[in-house]
Amino acid sequence: MKNHHIKCPAPNQYTDISRSFYFVIFLLLCVSLLTLSCSKSVAQNVDDMQSSEIIEFSSDQLKQLLKEMDSAILENPSEHRGPHVSVRSIRDNQLFLIPSRDWTSGFLPGLLWYMYELTDDNYWLVEARNRTAYIARERINASTHDMGFKIYCSFGNGYRLTEDPYYRDVIIEASNTLITRYNETVGAIRSWDHNSDKWDFPVIIDNMMNLEMLFRASELTGDPVYNDIAIQHARTTIEQHFRDDFSTYHVIGFNPENGEVMQRHTHQGAFHESSWARGQAWGLYGFVMTYRFTELQEFLNQAEKIAEFMLDHPRLPSDLVPYWDYDAENIPNEPRDASAAAITASALYELSTMVPEKSDYYKQMADKMLASLYNNYRSAKGENFGFLLEHSTGHLPGDHEIDTPLIYADYYFIEAALRKLKIEGI
């Protein structure tokens, strides 16, 4: 804090009344300065305290989640889709267990890697290694585009923190598997193989999130093929997914023979022309990340326009946690989606490091989102089987995972907290 010098009246310059008056003013100014100084200190301490509280709360909850999950797996060891290795949500008041092939299987191991990064506690290192190992089989699963979610959240974070050469090999093999789904005519990576009655070659906005693994694979190998495919996929997404206001469709159905667009759908949104909240978050995060690797201005411009659409939207609630769809019919009597807010907060923290003239604004919005999630959307301690956040919405039109904890909401919540700490140098 700068020194503040206040010049006092010279002796005998004024009457006794004047001296008394200026003495009171002097005292008030000193008290005001002291109060401002103390207020600034208290505010900083509160911010530090919240960061430490998030870590402590998350540590306790996640240890409970691991115990609850392992106990549930022992009671229900397997199903036709393969052995249970992780947890996704709560359904019918029970943990919803998943095999490695589920698109969300990499988020729990990723969470554990983040906890190790935050705490440097060997407990989290051991758990992260063990849970990551269960996902390895997915590196050769060519039936899905979700390799980034599964492999990069788990093995990617593991390699970043340990430089284990085996993790590097898994990332590269998974990237080789993923690019087999690329169609040069379409200029994009195919998303789903199911629902062939609806789409011949569907590409979903979520797929932007899987490009990070490809960018990293080019860095690790020196081979530009992964980078080139990722860039073209991102460009195709800009061209075909986004409306004039920078809201996004969920699914674009292409003709794989000539690349023409056949359908523009919002499969998990309120209706096809609506703006599904998590889809907007995937888009924002994906283009921020793509700019990080490429430094191409077109991707930063896209990210900023998406952010503007979201942050200035008239139906974004004052607590900055969106309804599951910005155009849902019964707002404000619609479920929220804490997962969309967590993804957005994490993306905004990174975006704040890329746009100097808007850095404070993006960080302040991210801070407000993170604080809102922690203060108003976190689970009561010891509740929800150990999940961190509640009030997320997975697939409302599909009538599942509505107003419930979701593992990827927790993942991006902790990632946002970690990014905040890194930016602030705490």
Q: What is the DSSP string of 104-166?
A: TTTHHHHHHHHHHHHH--HHHHHHHHHHHHTTGGGGG-TT-STHIIIIIIIIIHHHHHH--HH
Helix (H) or strand (E) run with residue 309 in it: helix 297-311
Half-sphere exposure of 364 toward its Cβ, with a 13 Å CA cutoff?
5
Q: 183-209 in b/e burial notation, b at 16+ Cβ within 10 A?
A: beebbbbbbbeeeeeebebbbbbbbbb
Tell me the C-alpha to C-alpha distance, in Å, between residue 234 and each of 207, 254, 285.
9, 15, 12
Of 294, 284, 413, 416, the closest CA to residue 349 belongs to 416
206 is catalytic: yes
Contact 304, 288 (CB under 8 A): no
- Pick the catalytic residue from 47, 169, 193, 206: 206
For residue 332, whether the previous peptide bond is cis, meaning omega lies within 30 degrees of 0, is yes
- Pick the catalytic residue from 60, 120, 146, 319: 146
| Catalytic positions | 146, 206
